[in-house]
Amino acid sequence: MNRRSIYRLFLSLAFSFLTMVAGAQAQHPTLEIEPYYDLAFTEAERDSLLQNLRDYQRSISAIHQYRLENSVPMSLWFDPVPSGFRKETVQKPIDWGLPKNVQVPSNAEELALFPVYKLAVLLKNKKITSTQLTKIYIDRLKKFSDTLQCTVLLLEERALAQARKADEEIAKGKYRGPLHGIPYGIKDLLAVEGTKTTWGAEPYIDQEINTTATVVKKLDDAGAVLTAKFTMGALAMGDIWFGGVTKNPWNLKQGSSGSSAGSASATVAGLVAFSIGTETLGSIVSPSTRCGASGLRPTFGTVSRHGAMALSWSMDKIGPICRSAFDAALVYDVIRGEDELDKSTRSSVFNYSAKADLKKLKVGYVKSLFEATYANKENDQKVLDVIRSLGVELIEVELPASVPVSGVRIMLTAEAAAAFDELTRSNKDSLLANQLRWAWPNTFRAARFIPAVEYINASRLRQQLIEVYHQATNDFDVIISPSFGGTQLLTTNLTGHPCVVVPNGFNDSGSPVSISFLGKLYGEAAPLLLARAYQEATEWDDMHPPLFRVSNK
């Protein structure tokens, strides 16, 4: 039997199940058969159900006759706001606290590993040019991309044109802000008109999408220089893409994790100044951890997803991957905002001030997670010590455990399977390199057996989770948590809360590890400020992988 026949048989099981049960019990009246999805039917009920199932099958077949592109969203929109929540509405002037003076290094290539906030000062003060900086990054992309397997497309011509434009504008006094002239890269699920957008997957290697993502347009307007499109785990899972496995710049024998694999790897290796990643369930946090980047997963709906591949309409989020939390704040301020092309977006303020008194922040830590036995415990405990040394009082807090969050995860699985329904039914999912049991092809197939009723019930449980999480945490400006402690990562992705992840040391194998600063809904400023203060008091964000340091050319 070939694979297509096996799949058809697999799909038919749901419709034949009731018939088989009825037949078995007719021959063996005393036979007990385990209920399906916790449901048990009488023989008469099964007989009635069969015709209804055939009616549903005809309806589904009719839907399958209509081609739905990945860009077509659901008509239902997820809103993470709990009952009674009120967000801040007054935008105050932003005080970045940029350094007054930054020196140009004697070896210009060292600029490649400078943080954005230092490059911004050099560009504004005309000590370097965007063209000079862009050429440095292009040279490093050409030199190291194969080593890291991190780049899908080098946009050299586009980048140099943008850099020249930035230099002309800055020379004339038309300064657009801290990202003006700064080279960056994007995860290759963001469309840029005139380029291929591969989604990291074999069936889409030659795909061109006739639009440009809103995030890219916003960065264009800020004068940033798009230099490359970076690898992603196929269809936003892991670090395996159609060209191989993207590498951790600290350990080339190890993958960079994913799915924002290339964005994290290239940024930490100094191939761009910053990059754009996405997260549905850990795709910014995980590669940022593995590679030693500083990433921001913003509140759901604060950054437009127009022009981005859809995986889960109710969970996908776009955010910056940088070399410091300060850099992430600079990038977030540019890409945030409501967009009529993405109905899930909401307006919000970003009241970031470098002069903010950290002692006035209400900061919690998830005590039970820090007290558990886990690999990064020693490094995480030191984070708490550093925060206390800054004069910040830490208050014990516990995340709610009453809602079965692992069950709510079926929403992601069902939405992802719907987003790639045509891929599954066309049998082109067999083209994907990763065919392991937990990989997307098999996950998509199995997801077709998630009942619509249970998807809706999971959504109702998710609303309960939002409410109880709000009750437990809303008094806090920041909550510090082990990045992968308990169900924190799944819970906060489901509730839509922001997370700032920054490096806090290394494990026994020499790979970076991280800590997470969680914020309120639409409250990105507080965790970014606290993470910045932590980084200014420690050394981890100033460390670079040896192979990619300029001195080791």
Q: How far apart are CA 247 and CA 264, in angstroms?
A: 10
Q: Is residue 166 part of a domain?
A: yes
375 and 467 together in one domain: yes
Look-up: residue for tokens 């799909």?
Answer: 11
135 and 53 together in one domain: no
Q: How far apart are CA 431 and CA 435, in angstroms?
A: 9
Token readout for 419 is 């987003």
Residues 192-219: what's their mean pLDDT?
98
Where among 10, 32, 66 does a domain terminate?
Answer: 66
Residues 427-446: what's their mean pLDDT?
93
269 and 126 together in one domain: yes
What's the pLDDT at 552?
46
179 and 48 together in one domain: no
Residue 391: which domain range? Answer: 108-341+361-404+455-552
Q: Is residue 365 part of a domain?
A: yes
302 and 209 together in one domain: yes
What's the pLDDT at 10?
43
Run of H or E including 397: strand 394-397
What's the pLDDT at 122?
98
Q: How far apart are CA 244 and CA 48, in angstroms?
A: 51
**Plot region of 181 (φ>0 → left; ψ -120 to 50 → alpha; else → beta):** left
pLDDT tens digit sequence for 12-60: 545 444 444 444 444 444 444 446 678 888 888 888 888 888 898 899 9
Q: Is residue 413 part of a domain?
A: no
Q: Is residue 484 part of a domain?
A: yes
Number of independent structural domains in the chain:
2
Residues 399-419: what's their mean pLDDT?
96
496 and 373 together in one domain: yes
332 and 208 together in one domain: yes
**Paired sense of beta strands 317-322 and 512-519, if any:** unpaired
Query: Residue 1 pLDDT more than 70?
Result: no
Residues 171-197: what's their mean pLDDT?
98
What's the pLDDT at 40?
83
Indicate which CATH number applies to the domain containing 162.
3.90.1300.10
Residues 366-388: what's their mean pLDDT?
97
145 and 239 together in one domain: yes
274 and 373 together in one domain: yes
pLDDT tens digit sequence for 246-275: 999 999 999 999 999 999 999 999 999 999
Could you tell me which of 207, 241, 149 has the C-alpha nearest to residue 433? Answer: 241
Considering the entire predicted model, what is its pTM? 0.94
372 and 483 together in one domain: yes
Q: How far apart are CA 253 and CA 255, in angstroms?
A: 7
Query: Residue 121 pLDDT more than 90?
Result: yes
239 and 189 together in one domain: yes
Q: Is residue 123 part of a domain?
A: yes
Query: Exposed, middle or buried by CB within 10 Å (0-12, 13-18, 19+), for 306?
Result: buried
Q: How far apart are CA 533 and CA 543, in angstroms?
A: 17
Q: Is residue 259 part of a domain?
A: yes
- Give all strands of the β-sheet with 151-154 in edge-to-edge order: 151-154, 225-230, 183-187, 274-279, 317-322, 294-297, 499-506, 512-519, 478-482, 363-366, 394-397
Q: Is residue 334 part of a domain?
A: yes
Q: How far apart are CA 231 and CA 150, in angstroms?
A: 5
40 and 141 together in one domain: no
Angle at which helices 130-148 and 261-268 cross, to 10°: 120
